[in-house]
Homo-oligomer: A and B are copies of this chain.
Amino acid sequence: MIENLLDPVVLFFLAGLIAGVLKSDLRLPESIYEILSIYLLLAIGLKGGAELHESQLHNVISPAAASIVLGIVIPVIAYFILRRLGKFSRPDSAAIAAHYGSVSAVTFAVVLSFLSQIREPYEQFVTVLLVLLEMPAIAVGIFIARLKTTSGPLRVGTLMHEVFLGKSLYLLAVGLVVGYVLGPHGLLPVKIAFVDLFRGALAFFLLEMGLVASNRLADLKRVGAFLVLFGILMPLISSVLGCVLGVATGLSVGGTTVLATLAASASYIAAPAAMRIAVPQANPTLYITASLGITFPFNLIVGIPLYHQMAIATHSLLG
């Protein structure tokens, strides 16, 4: 965990978090948040696409299948925990579940940064898993939410846009395609901007995310102890599934760490946007506080190095 805390990216997140908690007058203009998240999604996609360009695609198939399974299983588990044990309403449970089945691209970027920091190699196609994991859980969540409730006609058009053409998925896909088409060589002209600059931009973005996350903490009381606990235990459950499926589908320790982290991460861009439209009765304070206020910091600070240890352990057990 120390290596992790010595990653500038994580230290910047802490700095933002503290600034928020201490109520510093530090504010980043809205636009920087949008610009950086767009930049990061593109850069993640480009890097992934360029690596894909050089990897044997047949290896991706079983991990890809595993990801989709995770994307369906995790939200179902999460739903029942929230509904049965947490006694949350159906819409609330379904909406929160969708967030935990989906993924956080920034958490993904941080785990890659962590792995390169500790020189742990990973499969070059992991970005494909990121893209595959974003979608299914959102569909599952919406499906569950609407099973019995009748909240007027589902604005399917709007919704499909939110999901497939939502900026996060679209930008990842654009980056992936462009990166794949051009390959590492073709990307050279933009390498400095999108590769060399990436970790600095990520650090800067995490300063902002620290501020945003700290603002969510104010709502912790409102959401109740159960959800706080859920925000920490659910990622652990998911990461275990991720580790097992990672090893089972032949991923390296690094690749397994990535899959576990993806499983453990909760969406804070695609899922909220889709849920707000598709499941309006769900209280956004609940899913945002859990995803952004609890799980995101937990994964960054404690989760990632932990999942790495878990990946090693699972490998020596099942590998």
Contact = CB atoms under 8 A, between A and B. Distances in A.
A181 B24 CA distance: 22
Contacts of A25: 161-162, 165-167, 273
A22 B39 CA distance: 20
Interface string A23-60: 11111111110110011001000000000000000000
Contact of A200 (B9, B30, B192): B192
Contacts of A27: 34, 167
Interface residues of A, number: 54
A241 interface: no
A23 B190 contact: no
Contacts of A273: 25
Interface in A214-239: none
B8 A186 contact: yes
Given A165-B24, A189-B113, A204-B39, A170 B19 contact: yes
A187 interface: yes
A193 interface: yes
Interface string A170-211: 110010001001100011011111101101110110010000
A15 interface: yes
A136 B287 CA distance: 44
A11 interface: yes
Contact of A29 (B22, B35, B171, B182): B35
A12 interface: yes
A30 B27 CA distance: 13
A6 interface: yes
B199 A190 contact: yes
9 contacts: A8-B182, A11-B178, A22-B165, A24-B166, A26-B167, A28-B34, A117-B189, A190-B199, A193-B199
Contacts of A38: 26, 28
A32 B33 CA distance: 11
Interface string A136-169: 0000000000000000000000000110011100
Contacts of A196: 192
A193 B197 contact: yes
A8 B200 contact: no
A237 to B, nearest CB: 31
B23 A161 contact: yes
A193 B189 contact: no
Contact of A174 (B15, B166, B170): B15
Contacts of A6: 181-182, 186
Contacts of A15: 174, 178
Nearest to A41: B26
Contacts of A187: 8
A161 B24 contact: yes
A198 to B, nearest CB: 8
Given A29-B30, A31-B31, 12 more contacts: A6-B182, A7-B189, A8-B182, A11-B181, A12-B178, A22-B165, A27-B167, A28-B34, A30-B31, A32-B34, A192-B200, A197-B200
